[in-house]
Structure 1
């Protein structure tokens, strides 16, 4: 774990890099639906992908409080870059870090944390969505191999991923008890990757369907114990939700900054629109929302730093922060008026992406149900 001074220096470096290098190019690569490889290489050189991955495994060994601040700084400019930087610590890397063998960590986690390799996580399915226990993808044991068949939807990093962490069940009737996790190279025979095009939001990241047509993998592809895949998935999802919450705070802050700047400069009826009470009210809501969302995300990060399970807290942080991001984007768009639709202003991108933030890593309707069940003792918190 790095000291506080070093942590502040890293966060400051992230902010400066985002403003100087990412900001001038984000509108273009968002439109083109791609990540610039040169920027990814630069960030790898700077160690930006290391996150919370332990130093012994090739990561930066950050504490979670530093990690969420780091992701927020990047996300103020481009939360999709924040998404890619969070994956080694979240949805992709956490599974290997917590459940992988030494060989799996060496082969996959180290390069992932170094930014020299990218991965994908295949959890969501066309029919089951957020109901992980209800997945339809199956596997059978054939001697020393596993044969996996099924499909996944809305899987990211299809253009750059070298491997896919995915989940399948040996018996659908067993629900979560029958699920196992596997690491599959993306060049495996029978694995088909089919990207979507012209997405509403989250445009730079390549997302699409994954088809597993009797994909054969060896015993070394099993991640964790057979039948323990649900636990593998939940550990990764918990960290992933923290990343989404951090990115949402970054987007909300960007909306607030854009709204303040525009309101001060824009004049109507002979004065700055910042003088109008309705504009002040919207900015106030944004200020309060950003501050409270940031505190909730930090609270969840502190719990993880203490070694606690933070299932309820990360769910709360993801739901609340993404709702704040969308409300902030909506209000900021309203303040911009007709200029909100202009590509010269980033607010249109913030509005599109903030809507998707409410859906990824479990829709906010799902989180509202989960939090209610945990609060009422109907579902285990840890």
Structure 2
């Protein structure tokens, strides 16, 4: 079977599972904070997290573009769950690129198959490295292990039986990336204040107090960290576009449905469905091109950041247009338009947020100008 046929078959299976198992839960996930653990396990068993993992590690080897398309299909029905799929697949990427074979052997198959669920607690570290906030976790080396203390205010897709993959500043310099168990000694999980959306993402506060992380759970030591981050960052950022694409597709559906009765007045709105659809197609093509480059470690970070920013901007436009097309009905709790608007804002504020992206883009472009002038 060709890769294209295999990818089509996988996506068809994902679409069917979304329809039967996720669609009936979408309102409860949003309004009651239901965490769709069963759906995540089933999606993993289908191969929904393992597109970037090679066949010898129980993945499909179909690549990041297919993984992004899976996230998009989930996001068309529920943005919160698309975010959880992103969390899980980001962790697959971390495990794929670690040079620690012990960690890869321990966790990759279980995470890629959805047997073991995992959250990515890299938001703080990514913002810290961009000069936005201080690092919250600190580590000291003890032989081949690390002793970690600190608190991450919100990490999603975590629980006592889950993993979390985080970074900490090391006391004698540099950073270390680690796998943390939710039920490990010295690790505690605490609820966050209620969110306006994304309540069904099992987002918790993680606190570590002298938690020992053994050498087998170290993804990157300080001397490896910069290279490791440069390898995982393109996929980490690029796969978030799938969340936005899903919300945009759902918003376009609302626009089409609304126009069945009120196209005569909706035509005066700024963002029309055809224009938004054309813009989405362009971003989707860029995402596939960059995904193929990221699979072999050649995606330019600046291009990835620009695409991610453009996706946030289009997601906001599409969701805003959808609720304007729907009119007053879009404010009903049972109507998806108001949920999509909240999900779109999340796409624009989840790390790297739109303001963060623009900061990094400006810095990289300034560096390029200096290099050209030298």
Q: Judging changes above 3 Å, is the alpha-carbon distance between structure 1 residues 161 and 84 closer, same or farther for their aligned structure 2 residues?
A: farther
1:83 matched to 2:79: no
Match of 2:8 in 1: 8
Inter-partner Cα distance in structure 2 for 1:307 and 1:122: 23
Match of 2:128 in 1: 131
Calculate the TM-score normalised by the size of structure 2.
0.89
Match of 2:236 in 1: 240
Q: Tell me the CA shift for residue 182 of structure 1.
A: 1.6
Calculate the TM-score normalised by the size of structure 1.
0.87
Q: Judging changes above 3 Å, is the alpha-carbon distance between structure 1 residues 161 and 322 closer, same or farther for their aligned structure 2 residues?
A: farther
Match of 1:254 in 2: 250
Which residues of structure 2 form unaligned runs of 5+?
A: none
Which residues of structure 1 form unaligned runs of 5+?
A: 266-271
Match of 1:33 in 2: 33
Which of 287, 292, 301 pairs up with 2:282? 292
Q: Judging changes above 3 Å, is the alpha-carbon distance between structure 1 residues 206 and 232 closer, same or farther for their aligned structure 2 residues?
A: farther
Match of 2:142 in 1: 142
Match of 2:304 in 1: 314
Match of 2:358 in 1: 368
Q: Tell me the CA shift for residue 196 of structure 1.
A: 1.6
Inter-partner Cα distance in structure 1 for 2:258 and 2:304: 33
1:51–1:62 CA contact under 8 A, matched in 2: yes
SS in 2 for 1:24: helix
Instruction: Count residues with an aligned counterpart.
Output: 368
1:122 matched to 2:129: no
Inter-partner Cα distance in structure 2 for 1:68 and 1:337: 31
Match of 1:102 in 2: 101
Q: Judging changes above 3 Å, is the alpha-carbon distance between structure 1 residues 58 and 309 closer, same or farther for their aligned structure 2 residues?
A: same
Q: Judging changes above 3 Å, is the alpha-carbon distance between structure 1 residues 379 and 149 closer, same or farther for their aligned structure 2 residues?
A: farther
Which structure has more helix as a fraction of its residues? Answer: 2
Q: Name whichever of 143-152 and 273-282 sits farther off.
A: 273-282
2:309–2:358 CA contact under 8 A, matched in 1: yes
Q: Judging changes above 3 Å, is the alpha-carbon distance between structure 1 residues 234 and 161 closer, same or farther for their aligned structure 2 residues?
A: farther
Q: Name whichever of 334-343 and 305-314 sits farther off.
A: 305-314
Inter-partner Cα distance in structure 1 for 2:291 and 2:307: 10
Match of 2:175 in 1: 179
1:57–1:105 CA contact under 8 A, matched in 2: no
Q: Judging changes above 3 Å, is the alpha-carbon distance between structure 1 residues 348 and 114 closer, same or farther for their aligned structure 2 residues?
A: same
SS in 1 for 2:268: helix
SS in 2 for 1:116: coil
Matches within 5 A, 1:42-57: 42-57=42-57
